[in-house]
Amino acid sequence: MSPAPMRKDAARNRQRIVDVGRQLVNDGAPLQLNDVARLAEVGVATVYRHFPTPEALMETLATPGLEALVARAERALTEDEPWQALADFLDTTLEAQLTDPAISIVRAAPHHVLPRTTELATTLDSLAGELLDRAHAAGTVRTVVTWDDLRPLMCGAAYAATVHADGQETRLASGRRYLSVMLHGLRR
């Protein structure tokens, strides 16, 4: 049985909360639910009713980006050239991490509070592992490399690009340079 549809005012308040949360995350500010309530001009109880924890709000913000990455990984698995499919997927992943801070935060979290986030993260890891397995089978990637190795390396490349470069374009260029070095090391 699906939940009852949300009242229009409740849906409007939820969207205001999400919009404020997105702005705070994009600005690099912490997600404090009391601050979100103040900035969204809603009651604190309203925020907590929709998002019981800051992590729930953060995961909600990351969901569209995670869904897009899952879709990209699924498309990559249909591509003919395993190495290029993996490299392009990793490039898309890096770009998502550098343009949507919520994705990096959620992907680096040791656990998730929303079942949908857990589902997306598990699916994404599984699909990425399949992409890597295809590249292994094609003989284009060193066999000692696992997705458990690549995932933190991707987070590290995104983090390094964020810390060592100012502005989104410079971060993307730096991140892609770091990814290129990493891909060069992976290739057989």
Domain coordinates in residue numbering, the chain: 1-52, 54-186
Q: Is the pLDDT of residue 118 over 90?
A: yes
DSSP class of 2: P
Asked which of 2-6, 59-63, 149-153, 169-173 is least confident by mean pLDDT, the reply is 2-6
pLDDT bin (cut points 50, 70, 90) of residue 76 is very high
143 φ/ψ angles, rounded to the nearest 5 degrees: -70, -20
- The two counts, helices (H) then strands (E), for the chain are 9, 0
Q: How many CB atoms lie within 10 A of CB 180?
A: 13
Q: Could you tell me where the beta strands, DSSP code E, fall in 42-177?
A: none
Report the pLDDT averaged over residues 1-8: 70
- The pair of structure tokens assigned to 43 is 């009651």
Provide the CATH topology of domain 54-186.
Tetracycline Repressor; domain 2 (1.10.357)
pLDDT reported for residue 175: 94
- The pair of structure tokens assigned to 97 is 């991490």
pLDDT reported for residue 1: 54
**54-186 matches 1-52 in CATH topology:** no
pLDDT reported for residue 6: 72
pLDDT reported for residue 95: 96
CATH number of 1-52: 1.10.10.60
Q: Is the pLDDT of residue 98 over 70?
A: yes
pLDDT reported for residue 3: 64
Provide the mean pLDDT of the chain: 94
pLDDT bin (cut points 50, 70, 90) of residue 21 is very high
Task: State pTM to two decimals.
Answer: 0.91
